[in-house]
A and B are shown apart, each in its own frame.
Chain A
Amino acid sequence: MAVLVIADHDNASLKDSTNKTVTAALVLSGDVDVLVAGKDAKAAADAAAKIAGVRKVLLAESDELGQGLAEAVEATVLPLMGGYDAVLTPATSQGKNFSPRIAAKLDVAQISEIVEVVSNDTFVRPIYAGNALETVQSSDAKKVITVRATAFKAAGEGGSASVENVAAGAASAKIKFVDQQLVKSARPELAGAKIVVSGGRAMGSAEEFSKVIEPLADKLGAAVGASRAAVDAGYAPNDYQVGQTGKVVAPELYVAIGISGAIQHLAGMKDSKVIVAINKDADAPIFQVADFGLVADYKTAVPELMDALTAAGK
């Protein structure tokens, strides 16, 4: 059995979710190749070649792949599938965009957001916002799988795979990239961060959100997250959203400030190693999953926390 992993990257570097997806792939097979589809993405391909256990890296480049158009990614992957029994993609918004197309063209099911590989044909995946875990067995000859990266450890470095160019698939003439507005940040990426500081609706405004959450995040070297309520209210951008329908995170430390803990938010962070909740409502559901709870108004608690961190040498 040979497995193809489709890398998550920004052309210049590889995202941690790729290493984690390689770990899932290595459970299935020792023959794991990584496809880097992008534009001017040699650096990302070289990084993929260093992942321990990777047999070969395939690099496909075109303008449309650089723009992440799903039709172009699908057209690049399909001709390669003759040589693979499974294709694994991190379940990021990019992966979720193109992976089902590959499944449909191969006439197989997609096994979405797996959190465990039980055997070559059996996988565990969350359903109902993580309120249940479903074990499914696939009868398809080729498996198309997306991987919830936070459920797997990152594969280490130490590999020295070769990088081989492959043809970029043609994009559809019926779709055209117009532009994109990406948020630039010096902070770590939310999905792979070791520490995440999230704010909720209690912040009350976008100004207050940045004034309270950002300095604490920077002090801890953390990524910034938000509850759906805070994003819907416009206090934080959409890609900050942690939850069932936003990003699923599992950092070493998750700090929830002014977040009540709706089911859909808990689904996105309950696998964090240590959870801290600061909320003035002692009955907030977030305290039911928090390892350490501080019942206090964030307006006084966060400055005190900043001082305590400074005193502790942070």
Chain B
Amino acid sequence: MKVLVPVKRVIDSNVKARVKSDQSGVDLANVKMSINPFCEIAVEEAVRLKEKGVATEVVVVSIGPAQAQETLRQALAMGADRGVLIQSDQDLEPLEVAKVLKAVIAEEAPGVVIMGKQAIDGDNNATGQMLAALLDWPQATFASAIELSADKAKVTREVDGGLQTIEATLPAIITADLRLNEPRYASLPNIMKAKKKPLDVKEVATLGVDLKPHLKVLKVAEPAKRSAGIKVETAGDLVANLKTAGVL
């Protein structure tokens, strides 16, 4: 079974995002960029499925600028087989990303798509669900465990108040939550090997997808800062302060 894993190039999760002084967006100049952490979990899961002999090929696809090739190489170094970059310098909204992915899926015909539940830049948590709706494929979001057979995926999901298990008939869209796995570090030999793995680059315009934006960003501002309060010496002082603050 072929597994398709979409990956996004985002600000590194250890870097604090800073708002530009003209409020036009977040400053990404000279900032370390990496694979989105949830996408990394999805890649890891796909590679493990291949190691178990369930998956036959792991294809990673990214939609973004030329530099997103680095993100794809990161995924290839983890063990994915082949990369596809749909090159676009426009920052696409989740619905447009889902439409582009639908076009890629029409070409690649994967048995299952595993992707991150959300990107840590836009924090939308929407692309997987939109893709499932556009394809009319079943969806299993926020996965913490995946059991794959020839035609079914049994997925444990993190829901409000606990866990839910559902069974989807393949092909399906699965989105990865934090506790699905712990991604491996790519070894140096695998990083070297990844440089030789196939990576196709296509211009997004060649897919014939309507990329008209629906949302206009008017401004990006910094949230109100919370300032540090006081240090108390004892638990008794703490309770007295909380009483004064009216929260006990």
Give the segment of A41-49, A53-61, A121-129 that binds chain B.
Answer: A121-129
* B26 CB-CB contact with A under 8 Å: yes
Among B95, B138, B165, the residue within 8 A (CB) of A107 is B95
Q: Contact at B238–A290, with CB atoms within 8 Å?
A: no
Q: Contact at A290–B248, with CB atoms within 8 Å?
A: no
* Contact flag A136-B222 (CB < 8 Å), given A181-B162, A237-B162: no
CB neighbours of A101 from chain B (8 A): 129-130, 132-133, 139
Task: Give Cα distance in the complex from A308 to B222, angstroms.
Answer: 39
Q: Contact at A133–B121, with CB atoms within 8 Å?
A: no
* Contact flag A93-B159 (CB < 8 Å), given A100-B133, A127-B220, A178-B165: yes
Q: Contact at A97–B226, with CB atoms within 8 Å?
A: no
Chain B, residue nearest A15 (CB)? B160
* Contact flag A132-B179 (CB < 8 Å), given A97-B141, A104-B133, A294-B238: no
Task: Give Cα distance in the complex from A244 to B166, angstroms.
Answer: 25
Task: Give Cα distance in the complex from A307 to B238, angstroms.
Answer: 12
Task: Give Cα distance in the complex from A290 to B230, angstroms.
Answer: 8
Task: Give Cα distance in the complex from A182 to B28, angstroms.
Answer: 41
Among B129, B140, B213, the residue within 8 A (CB) of A100 is B129
* Contact flag A136-B217 (CB < 8 Å), given A103-B95, A128-B123, A175-B169: yes
The B contact surface, by secondary structure, is: mixed
Q: Which of B103-141 touch A at CB < 8 Å?
A: 118, 120-134, 136-141
CB neighbours of B30 from chain A (8 A): none
Q: Contact at A109–B215, with CB atoms within 8 Å?
A: yes
Among A94, A132, A275, the residue within 8 A (CB) of B221 is A132
Task: Give Cα distance in the complex from A27 to B126, angstroms.
Answer: 24
CB neighbours of A295 from chain B (8 A): 231
Q: Which of B150-190 touch A at CB < 8 Å?
A: 154, 158-169, 172, 177-179
Q: Contact at B129–A292, with CB atoms within 8 Å?
A: no
* A135 CB-CB contact with B under 8 Å: yes
* A33 CB-CB contact with B under 8 Å: no
CB neighbours of B165 from chain A (8 A): 177-180
Q: Contact at B239–A312, with CB atoms within 8 Å?
A: yes
Chain A, residue nearest B124 (CB)? A112
Interface string of A235-263 (1 = CB under 8 A from B): 00111000011000000110000000001
CB neighbours of B129 from chain A (8 A): 70, 96-101, 104
CB neighbours of B142 from chain A (8 A): 93, 97
* B53 CB-CB contact with A under 8 Å: no
* A167 CB-CB contact with B under 8 Å: no
* A287 CB-CB contact with B under 8 Å: yes
Task: Give Cα distance in the complex from A173 to B136, angstroms.
Answer: 11
* Contact flag A287-B138 (CB < 8 Å), given A128-B26, A128-B121, A132-B19: no
* Contact flag A127-B122 (CB < 8 Å), given A174-B172, A183-B162, A239-B161: yes
Q: Contact at A292–B223, with CB atoms within 8 Å?
A: no
* A74 CB-CB contact with B under 8 Å: yes
* A201 CB-CB contact with B under 8 Å: no
* A117 CB-CB contact with B under 8 Å: no
Q: Contact at A104–B218, with CB atoms within 8 Å?
A: no
* B242 CB-CB contact with A under 8 Å: yes
B residues near A, CB below 8 A? Answer: 11, 16-19, 26, 93-95, 98, 118, 120-134, 136-142, 144, 154, 158-169, 172, 177-179, 213-223, 226, 228-236, 238-239, 241-243, 245, 247-248
A residues near B, CB below 8 A? Answer: 67-71, 74, 92-94, 96-101, 103-105, 107-113, 122, 126-140, 172-183, 191, 195, 220, 228, 231-232, 237-239, 244-245, 252-253, 263, 270, 273-276, 287-295, 301, 304-305, 307-309, 311-312, 314
